[in-house]
Amino acid sequence: MPSPYRAIFATPGTKAFSAAGFVGRMPLSMMGIGIVTMVSQLTGRYGLAGALSATLAMSAAVIGPQVSRLVDRYGQARVLRPATLVSVAAVAGLLICAHRDAPDWTLFVFAAGAGCVPSVGSMVRARWAAIHHGSARELHTAYSWESIADELCFIIGPILSIGLSTAWFPEAGPLVAAGFLVVGVFWLTAQRATEPVPHPREQQSGGSALRSPGLQVLVAAFVATGTIFGTVDVVTVAFAQEQGHKAAASLVLSVYALGSCLAGVVFGLLHLKGPASRRWLVGVLAMAVSMIPLQLAGNLPLLAVALFVAGLAIAPTMVTTMALVEQHVPRSKLTEGMTWTTTGLAVGIALGSSAAGWVVDASGAQAGYAVAAGAGVLAAVVALLGHRRLRRPVPEREGATRPPSRGRQGTDDRSKESMA
Protein backbone atom coordinates (compact mmCIF):
# COMPACT_ATOMS: atom_id res chain seq x y z
CA MET A 1 0.00 0.00 0.00
CA PRO A 2 1.51 3.42 -0.91
CA SER A 3 2.73 5.34 2.13
CA PRO A 4 -0.05 8.01 2.23
CA TYR A 5 -2.64 5.24 2.53
CA ARG A 6 -0.54 3.34 5.06
CA ALA A 7 -0.29 6.48 7.20
CA ILE A 8 -4.03 6.97 7.60
CA PHE A 9 -4.44 3.42 8.90
CA ALA A 10 -1.86 3.90 11.64
CA THR A 11 -4.62 4.86 14.10
CA PRO A 12 -6.07 1.79 15.86
CA GLY A 13 -9.53 0.80 14.70
CA THR A 14 -9.40 2.45 11.29
CA LYS A 15 -8.97 -0.77 9.33
CA ALA A 16 -11.90 -2.38 11.09
CA PHE A 17 -14.41 0.43 10.59
CA SER A 18 -13.34 0.93 6.98
CA ALA A 19 -13.86 -2.78 6.30
CA ALA A 20 -17.26 -2.73 7.98
CA GLY A 21 -18.19 0.33 5.97
CA PHE A 22 -17.24 -1.44 2.76
CA VAL A 23 -19.56 -4.34 3.54
CA GLY A 24 -22.37 -2.00 4.60
CA ARG A 25 -22.10 0.00 1.38
CA MET A 26 -22.46 -2.96 -0.94
CA PRO A 27 -26.26 -2.45 -1.15
CA LEU A 28 -25.58 1.01 -2.60
CA SER A 29 -24.46 -0.66 -5.82
CA MET A 30 -26.58 -3.81 -5.57
CA MET A 31 -30.08 -2.85 -4.49
CA GLY A 32 -31.20 -0.50 -7.25
CA ILE A 33 -29.75 -2.50 -10.12
CA GLY A 34 -30.96 -5.69 -8.42
CA ILE A 35 -34.52 -4.38 -8.37
CA VAL A 36 -34.26 -3.37 -12.03
CA THR A 37 -32.96 -6.81 -12.97
CA MET A 38 -35.51 -8.64 -10.82
CA VAL A 39 -38.55 -6.75 -12.08
CA SER A 40 -37.45 -6.80 -15.70
CA GLN A 41 -37.02 -10.58 -15.49
CA LEU A 42 -40.33 -11.17 -13.75
CA THR A 43 -42.45 -8.73 -15.79
CA GLY A 44 -40.41 -7.51 -18.77
CA ARG A 45 -41.42 -3.94 -17.84
CA TYR A 46 -38.45 -1.58 -17.69
CA GLY A 47 -40.73 1.35 -16.93
CA LEU A 48 -41.95 -0.35 -13.75
CA ALA A 49 -38.43 -1.47 -12.87
CA GLY A 50 -37.05 2.04 -13.23
CA ALA A 51 -39.96 3.54 -11.29
CA LEU A 52 -39.41 1.16 -8.36
CA SER A 53 -35.71 1.91 -8.30
CA ALA A 54 -36.58 5.60 -8.40
CA THR A 55 -39.02 5.17 -5.50
CA LEU A 56 -36.32 3.52 -3.42
CA ALA A 57 -33.86 6.30 -4.21
CA MET A 58 -36.38 9.08 -3.53
CA SER A 59 -37.37 7.52 -0.24
CA ALA A 60 -33.72 7.29 0.79
CA ALA A 61 -33.31 10.93 -0.23
CA VAL A 62 -36.11 12.00 2.11
CA ILE A 63 -35.33 9.70 5.04
CA GLY A 64 -31.52 9.56 4.85
CA PRO A 65 -30.74 13.10 6.09
CA GLN A 66 -33.19 12.68 8.94
CA VAL A 67 -31.46 9.47 10.02
CA SER A 68 -28.08 11.20 9.83
CA ARG A 69 -29.37 14.17 11.82
CA LEU A 70 -30.39 11.73 14.56
CA VAL A 71 -26.94 10.12 14.33
CA ASP A 72 -25.26 13.50 14.90
CA ARG A 73 -27.47 13.95 17.95
CA TYR A 74 -27.55 10.47 19.51
CA GLY A 75 -24.65 8.54 17.98
CA GLN A 76 -24.33 5.90 15.27
CA ALA A 77 -25.09 2.77 17.28
CA ARG A 78 -28.38 4.00 18.76
CA VAL A 79 -29.81 5.10 15.40
CA LEU A 80 -28.37 2.90 12.65
CA ARG A 81 -29.43 -0.49 13.99
CA PRO A 82 -33.21 0.14 14.18
CA ALA A 83 -33.12 2.05 10.87
CA THR A 84 -31.42 -0.93 9.21
CA LEU A 85 -33.96 -3.40 10.55
CA VAL A 86 -36.83 -1.29 9.17
CA SER A 87 -35.17 -1.13 5.75
CA VAL A 88 -34.47 -4.87 5.62
CA ALA A 89 -38.04 -5.70 6.61
CA ALA A 90 -39.32 -3.53 3.76
CA VAL A 91 -36.95 -5.21 1.29
CA ALA A 92 -38.29 -8.59 2.39
CA GLY A 93 -41.84 -7.38 1.74
CA LEU A 94 -40.84 -6.12 -1.71
CA LEU A 95 -39.30 -9.44 -2.69
CA ILE A 96 -42.29 -11.43 -1.46
CA CYS A 97 -44.73 -9.22 -3.36
CA ALA A 98 -42.65 -9.40 -6.53
CA HIS A 99 -42.39 -13.18 -6.28
CA ARG A 100 -46.16 -13.57 -5.75
CA ASP A 101 -47.05 -11.14 -8.58
CA ALA A 102 -48.81 -8.80 -6.15
CA PRO A 103 -50.40 -5.54 -7.37
CA ASP A 104 -47.96 -2.84 -8.42
CA TRP A 105 -48.91 -0.52 -5.59
CA THR A 106 -47.64 -3.00 -3.00
CA LEU A 107 -44.24 -2.98 -4.68
CA PHE A 108 -44.09 0.81 -4.42
CA VAL A 109 -45.09 0.77 -0.75
CA PHE A 110 -42.31 -1.60 0.23
CA ALA A 111 -39.77 0.13 -2.05
CA ALA A 112 -40.53 3.37 -0.20
CA GLY A 113 -40.05 1.65 3.16
CA ALA A 114 -36.70 0.27 2.06
CA GLY A 115 -35.49 3.86 1.74
CA CYS A 116 -34.86 3.89 5.49
CA VAL A 117 -31.43 2.47 4.67
CA PRO A 118 -28.71 4.54 6.43
CA SER A 119 -25.92 6.30 4.54
CA VAL A 120 -23.09 4.02 5.64
CA GLY A 121 -20.51 5.91 3.58
CA SER A 122 -21.30 9.12 5.45
CA MET A 123 -20.91 7.31 8.76
CA VAL A 124 -17.45 6.04 7.83
CA ARG A 125 -16.32 9.43 6.51
CA ALA A 126 -17.52 11.06 9.72
CA ARG A 127 -15.21 8.72 11.63
CA TRP A 128 -12.28 9.71 9.44
CA ALA A 129 -13.15 13.40 9.93
CA ALA A 130 -13.14 12.96 13.71
CA ILE A 131 -9.77 11.20 13.67
CA HIS A 132 -7.96 13.48 11.19
CA HIS A 133 -9.74 16.77 11.80
CA GLY A 134 -7.37 19.67 11.18
CA SER A 135 -5.05 17.62 8.95
CA ALA A 136 -6.05 18.34 5.36
CA ARG A 137 -3.48 15.98 3.85
CA GLU A 138 -4.64 12.94 5.83
CA LEU A 139 -8.30 13.76 5.24
CA HIS A 140 -7.67 14.04 1.50
CA THR A 141 -6.10 10.59 1.51
CA ALA A 142 -8.83 9.15 3.75
CA TYR A 143 -11.62 10.52 1.55
CA SER A 144 -9.78 9.19 -1.50
CA TRP A 145 -9.58 5.77 0.12
CA GLU A 146 -13.31 5.78 0.82
CA SER A 147 -13.98 6.84 -2.75
CA ILE A 148 -11.92 3.86 -3.88
CA ALA A 149 -14.02 1.67 -1.58
CA ASP A 150 -17.17 3.13 -3.13
CA GLU A 151 -15.97 2.27 -6.60
CA LEU A 152 -14.90 -1.22 -5.58
CA CYS A 153 -18.47 -1.69 -4.39
CA PHE A 154 -19.67 -0.58 -7.81
CA ILE A 155 -17.24 -2.95 -9.51
CA ILE A 156 -18.25 -5.95 -7.44
CA GLY A 157 -21.87 -5.09 -6.64
CA PRO A 158 -23.46 -5.03 -10.10
CA ILE A 159 -21.66 -8.21 -11.13
CA LEU A 160 -22.85 -9.94 -7.98
CA SER A 161 -26.39 -8.56 -8.04
CA ILE A 162 -27.12 -9.07 -11.73
CA GLY A 163 -25.26 -12.37 -11.76
CA LEU A 164 -27.22 -13.77 -8.82
CA SER A 165 -30.55 -12.60 -10.22
CA THR A 166 -29.91 -14.01 -13.69
CA ALA A 167 -28.15 -17.25 -12.74
CA TRP A 168 -29.94 -18.17 -9.50
CA PHE A 169 -33.39 -16.62 -9.11
CA PRO A 170 -34.68 -13.08 -9.83
CA GLU A 171 -34.92 -11.98 -6.19
CA ALA A 172 -31.39 -13.15 -5.29
CA GLY A 173 -29.59 -9.86 -5.94
CA PRO A 174 -31.68 -7.65 -3.62
CA LEU A 175 -31.80 -10.43 -1.03
CA VAL A 176 -28.02 -10.69 -0.77
CA ALA A 177 -27.75 -6.89 -0.74
CA ALA A 178 -29.99 -6.77 2.33
CA GLY A 179 -27.74 -9.33 4.01
CA PHE A 180 -24.67 -7.17 3.37
CA LEU A 181 -26.47 -4.19 4.91
CA VAL A 182 -27.25 -6.01 8.15
CA VAL A 183 -23.74 -7.41 8.55
CA GLY A 184 -22.02 -4.14 7.68
CA VAL A 185 -24.11 -1.89 9.92
CA PHE A 186 -24.01 -4.15 12.96
CA TRP A 187 -20.26 -4.68 12.52
CA LEU A 188 -19.65 -0.93 12.20
CA THR A 189 -21.79 0.08 15.17
CA ALA A 190 -20.14 -2.53 17.37
CA GLN A 191 -16.91 -0.50 17.08
CA ARG A 192 -17.61 2.17 19.67
CA ALA A 193 -14.00 3.34 20.16
CA THR A 194 -13.90 5.21 16.83
CA GLU A 195 -17.51 6.38 16.83
CA PRO A 196 -17.67 10.21 16.68
CA VAL A 197 -18.94 11.93 19.80
CA PRO A 198 -22.62 12.84 19.35
CA HIS A 199 -23.81 16.43 19.73
CA PRO A 200 -27.01 16.65 21.78
CA ARG A 201 -29.78 19.01 20.74
CA GLU A 202 -28.61 21.75 23.09
CA GLN A 203 -25.21 21.83 21.34
CA GLN A 204 -26.77 22.33 17.89
CA SER A 205 -28.15 25.54 16.42
CA GLY A 206 -29.10 27.08 13.11
CA GLY A 207 -31.40 24.37 11.79
CA SER A 208 -30.48 21.97 9.02
CA ALA A 209 -26.99 21.71 7.55
CA LEU A 210 -28.62 22.39 4.18
CA ARG A 211 -28.86 26.07 5.12
CA SER A 212 -25.21 26.37 4.11
CA PRO A 213 -25.04 28.10 0.66
CA GLY A 214 -22.02 26.02 -0.31
CA LEU A 215 -23.76 22.76 0.55
CA GLN A 216 -26.77 23.85 -1.49
CA VAL A 217 -24.58 24.15 -4.59
CA LEU A 218 -22.99 20.75 -4.00
CA VAL A 219 -26.35 19.04 -3.51
CA ALA A 220 -27.89 20.68 -6.59
CA ALA A 221 -24.96 19.57 -8.75
CA PHE A 222 -25.17 16.08 -7.31
CA VAL A 223 -28.82 15.80 -8.28
CA ALA A 224 -27.72 16.19 -11.90
CA THR A 225 -24.77 13.85 -11.35
CA GLY A 226 -27.02 11.23 -9.82
CA THR A 227 -29.27 11.48 -12.86
CA ILE A 228 -26.28 10.45 -14.93
CA PHE A 229 -25.63 7.42 -12.72
CA GLY A 230 -29.27 6.31 -12.63
CA THR A 231 -29.56 6.63 -16.39
CA VAL A 232 -26.37 4.70 -17.10
CA ASP A 233 -27.46 1.81 -14.85
CA VAL A 234 -30.89 1.32 -16.40
CA VAL A 235 -29.92 1.99 -20.01
CA THR A 236 -26.84 -0.24 -19.89
CA VAL A 237 -28.91 -3.22 -18.73
CA ALA A 238 -31.41 -2.58 -21.52
CA PHE A 239 -28.64 -2.01 -24.09
CA ALA A 240 -26.95 -5.29 -23.16
CA GLN A 241 -30.28 -7.12 -23.48
CA GLU A 242 -30.84 -5.64 -26.95
CA GLN A 243 -27.38 -6.89 -27.89
CA GLY A 244 -28.33 -10.37 -26.67
CA HIS A 245 -25.97 -10.36 -23.67
CA LYS A 246 -27.94 -9.09 -20.68
CA ALA A 247 -25.60 -10.65 -18.11
CA ALA A 248 -22.71 -8.65 -19.65
CA ALA A 249 -24.31 -5.45 -18.32
CA SER A 250 -22.71 -6.10 -14.95
CA LEU A 251 -19.26 -6.28 -16.53
CA VAL A 252 -19.79 -3.07 -18.50
CA LEU A 253 -21.00 -1.21 -15.42
CA SER A 254 -18.02 -2.53 -13.50
CA VAL A 255 -15.68 -1.06 -16.11
CA TYR A 256 -17.36 2.29 -15.45
CA ALA A 257 -16.56 1.94 -11.76
CA LEU A 258 -13.06 0.66 -12.50
CA GLY A 259 -12.18 3.91 -14.26
CA SER A 260 -13.29 5.85 -11.22
CA CYS A 261 -11.46 3.51 -8.86
CA LEU A 262 -8.13 3.90 -10.66
CA ALA A 263 -8.54 7.68 -10.77
CA GLY A 264 -9.26 7.67 -7.04
CA VAL A 265 -6.09 5.71 -6.26
CA VAL A 266 -3.93 8.22 -8.13
CA PHE A 267 -5.82 11.22 -6.76
CA GLY A 268 -5.23 10.09 -3.18
CA LEU A 269 -1.46 10.02 -3.76
CA LEU A 270 -1.36 13.63 -4.92
CA HIS A 271 -0.66 16.60 -2.68
CA LEU A 272 -2.73 19.22 -4.45
CA LYS A 273 -2.56 22.96 -3.99
CA GLY A 274 -5.03 25.66 -4.93
CA PRO A 275 -8.71 26.01 -4.05
CA ALA A 276 -10.76 22.84 -3.86
CA SER A 277 -13.64 24.69 -5.51
CA ARG A 278 -11.65 24.97 -8.73
CA ARG A 279 -10.86 21.24 -8.77
CA TRP A 280 -14.52 20.49 -8.13
CA LEU A 281 -15.63 22.65 -11.06
CA VAL A 282 -13.17 20.95 -13.42
CA GLY A 283 -14.37 17.54 -12.26
CA VAL A 284 -18.04 18.31 -12.86
CA LEU A 285 -17.30 19.71 -16.32
CA ALA A 286 -15.26 16.61 -17.16
CA MET A 287 -18.16 14.35 -16.14
CA ALA A 288 -20.49 16.34 -18.38
CA VAL A 289 -18.22 16.10 -21.42
CA SER A 290 -17.69 12.37 -20.87
CA MET A 291 -21.37 11.69 -21.61
CA ILE A 292 -20.96 12.62 -25.27
CA PRO A 293 -19.19 9.41 -26.43
CA LEU A 294 -22.00 7.27 -25.00
CA GLN A 295 -24.26 8.52 -27.75
CA LEU A 296 -21.93 6.99 -30.35
CA ALA A 297 -21.30 3.54 -28.87
CA GLY A 298 -22.89 0.96 -31.13
CA ASN A 299 -21.85 -2.20 -29.31
CA LEU A 300 -20.86 -3.40 -25.85
CA PRO A 301 -17.05 -3.20 -26.27
CA LEU A 302 -17.23 0.41 -27.44
CA LEU A 303 -19.67 1.22 -24.66
CA ALA A 304 -17.28 -0.27 -22.09
CA VAL A 305 -14.43 1.91 -23.36
CA ALA A 306 -16.60 5.03 -23.27
CA LEU A 307 -17.76 4.28 -19.74
CA PHE A 308 -14.22 3.62 -18.53
CA VAL A 309 -13.14 7.05 -19.74
CA ALA A 310 -16.25 8.62 -18.22
CA GLY A 311 -15.46 6.98 -14.88
CA LEU A 312 -12.09 8.71 -14.60
CA ALA A 313 -13.77 11.96 -13.53
CA ILE A 314 -15.99 10.49 -10.82
CA ALA A 315 -13.76 9.69 -7.84
CA PRO A 316 -11.72 12.92 -7.88
CA THR A 317 -14.93 14.92 -7.99
CA MET A 318 -16.45 12.95 -5.12
CA VAL A 319 -13.32 13.29 -2.97
CA THR A 320 -13.23 17.05 -3.54
CA THR A 321 -16.93 17.28 -2.72
CA MET A 322 -16.44 15.68 0.70
CA ALA A 323 -13.57 18.05 1.43
CA LEU A 324 -15.82 20.99 0.56
CA VAL A 325 -18.61 19.65 2.78
CA GLU A 326 -16.14 19.45 5.65
CA GLN A 327 -15.25 23.11 5.04
CA HIS A 328 -18.79 24.45 4.74
CA VAL A 329 -20.77 22.51 7.37
CA PRO A 330 -20.57 22.83 11.19
CA ARG A 331 -18.87 19.90 12.84
CA SER A 332 -21.96 19.11 14.90
CA LYS A 333 -23.84 18.52 11.63
CA LEU A 334 -21.12 16.89 9.55
CA THR A 335 -22.80 13.50 9.13
CA GLU A 336 -26.01 15.20 8.05
CA GLY A 337 -24.08 17.42 5.62
CA MET A 338 -22.33 14.46 4.02
CA THR A 339 -25.64 12.64 3.77
CA TRP A 340 -27.22 15.57 1.93
CA THR A 341 -24.72 15.06 -0.88
CA THR A 342 -25.65 11.40 -1.13
CA THR A 343 -29.27 12.51 -0.96
CA GLY A 344 -28.68 14.69 -4.00
CA LEU A 345 -27.25 11.67 -5.76
CA ALA A 346 -30.24 9.58 -4.68
CA VAL A 347 -32.71 12.13 -6.04
CA GLY A 348 -30.81 12.23 -9.30
CA ILE A 349 -30.63 8.45 -9.51
CA ALA A 350 -34.39 8.35 -8.99
CA LEU A 351 -34.98 10.87 -11.76
CA GLY A 352 -32.47 9.24 -14.10
CA SER A 353 -33.61 5.66 -13.62
CA SER A 354 -37.27 6.60 -14.01
CA ALA A 355 -36.79 8.82 -17.05
CA ALA A 356 -34.40 6.37 -18.67
CA GLY A 357 -36.80 3.47 -18.12
CA TRP A 358 -39.61 5.25 -19.91
CA VAL A 359 -37.33 6.38 -22.76
CA VAL A 360 -36.06 2.83 -23.22
CA ASP A 361 -39.60 1.47 -23.32
CA ALA A 362 -40.63 4.12 -25.85
CA SER A 363 -37.58 4.48 -28.09
CA GLY A 364 -35.02 1.79 -27.32
CA ALA A 365 -31.88 1.61 -25.25
CA GLN A 366 -29.59 3.79 -27.37
CA ALA A 367 -31.97 6.73 -27.02
CA GLY A 368 -31.79 6.43 -23.24
CA TYR A 369 -28.22 7.74 -23.11
CA ALA A 370 -29.54 11.13 -24.23
CA VAL A 371 -30.95 11.49 -20.71
CA ALA A 372 -27.40 11.17 -19.33
CA ALA A 373 -26.14 13.80 -21.76
CA GLY A 374 -28.86 16.23 -20.72
CA ALA A 375 -28.06 15.62 -17.05
CA GLY A 376 -24.40 16.33 -17.75
CA VAL A 377 -25.29 19.69 -19.28
CA LEU A 378 -27.42 20.52 -16.23
CA ALA A 379 -24.59 19.59 -13.84
CA ALA A 380 -22.19 21.82 -15.76
CA VAL A 381 -24.60 24.77 -15.63
CA VAL A 382 -25.12 24.39 -11.88
CA ALA A 383 -21.37 24.16 -11.27
CA LEU A 384 -20.57 27.19 -13.41
CA LEU A 385 -23.26 29.34 -11.78
CA GLY A 386 -22.72 28.22 -8.21
CA HIS A 387 -19.04 27.45 -7.67
CA ARG A 388 -18.35 31.00 -6.48
CA ARG A 389 -20.28 30.19 -3.32
CA LEU A 390 -17.71 27.50 -2.64
CA ARG A 391 -14.86 30.03 -2.89
CA ARG A 392 -16.31 32.48 -0.39
CA PRO A 393 -14.70 32.61 3.06
CA VAL A 394 -16.69 30.46 5.43
CA PRO A 395 -17.49 32.01 8.83
CA GLU A 396 -15.94 30.20 11.77
CA ARG A 397 -18.01 27.08 12.23
CA GLU A 398 -19.47 26.10 15.51
CA GLY A 399 -17.43 23.47 17.26
CA ALA A 400 -14.27 24.50 15.46
CA THR A 401 -12.10 22.95 18.11
CA ARG A 402 -11.10 19.39 17.45
CA PRO A 403 -13.85 16.97 18.49
CA PRO A 404 -11.97 13.76 19.30
CA SER A 405 -13.33 10.38 18.48
CA ARG A 406 -13.97 8.16 21.44
CA GLY A 407 -10.83 6.14 20.86
CA ARG A 408 -8.24 8.97 20.85
CA GLN A 409 -8.52 10.70 24.18
CA GLY A 410 -9.15 7.93 26.66
CA THR A 411 -10.90 8.29 29.98
CA ASP A 412 -11.22 12.07 30.02
CA ASP A 413 -13.34 12.17 26.88
CA ARG A 414 -15.44 9.24 28.00
CA SER A 415 -16.27 11.07 31.20
CA LYS A 416 -17.23 14.17 29.22
CA GLU A 417 -19.52 12.07 27.05
CA SER A 418 -21.28 10.64 30.06
CA MET A 419 -21.77 14.15 31.47
CA ALA A 420 -23.24 15.26 28.14
Decide if pLDDT at 338 tops 50: yes
User: What residues contact 112, with CB distance under 8 A and at least 6 apart?
Assistant: 55, 56, 58, 59, 90
Distances (CA, A) of 50 to 163, 233, 356, 358: 19, 10, 7, 8
Long-range pairs for 237-245 at CB < 8 Å and ≥24 separation?
237/33, 237/36, 237/37, 237/40, 237/162, 238/46, 238/360, 238/365, 238/368, 239/300, 239/303, 239/365, 239/366, 239/368, 240/300, 241/40, 241/365, 242/364, 242/365, 243/299, 243/300, 245/300
pLDDT digit string, tens, across residues 284-302: 999 999 999 988 887 888 9
Kindly indicate the confidence band of residue 180, based on its pLDDT and cuts at 50, 70 and 90: very high
In the chain, the percentage of residues whose pLDDT exceeds 70 is 90
Decide if pLDDT at 238 tops 50: yes
Kindly indicate the confidence band of residue 91, based on its pLDDT and cuts at 50, 70 and 90: very high
Full set of structural domains in the chain with CATH: 14-197+209-392 (1.20.1250.20)
Alpha-carbon span 413 to 377, nearest angstrom: 48
What pLDDT does residue 178 have?
92
Arithmetic mean of pLDDT, 276-289: 89
pLDDT digit string, tens, across residues 375-387: 999 999 999 988 7
pLDDT digit string, tens, across residues 24-81: 988 887 888 888 888 888 887 777 887 888 788 778 878 888 888 888 888 888 899 9
Bridge partners of residue 196, in order along the sequence: 405
Decide if pLDDT at 340 tops 80: yes
Decide if pLDDT at 412 tops 70: no
Kindly indicate the confidence band of residue 419, based on its pLDDT and cuts at 50, 70 and 90: very low
What pLDDT does residue 415 have?
36
What pLDDT does residue 2 have?
54
What pLDDT does residue 249 have?
80
Kindly indicate the confidence band of residue 414, based on its pLDDT and cuts at 50, 70 and 90: very low
Kindly indicate the confidence band of residue 152, based on its pLDDT and cuts at 50, 70 and 90: confident
Decide if pLDDT at 179 tops 90: yes
Decide if pLDDT at 418 tops 70: no
What pLDDT does residue 182 have?
94
Kindly indicate the confidence band of residue 197, based on its pLDDT and cuts at 50, 70 and 90: confident
Of 29 and 415, which is predicted with more confidence?
29
What pLDDT does residue 142 have?
86
In the chain, the percentage of residues whose pLDDT exceeds 90 is 20
Alpha-carbon span 319 to 164, nearest angstrom: 31
What pLDDT does residue 420 have?
33
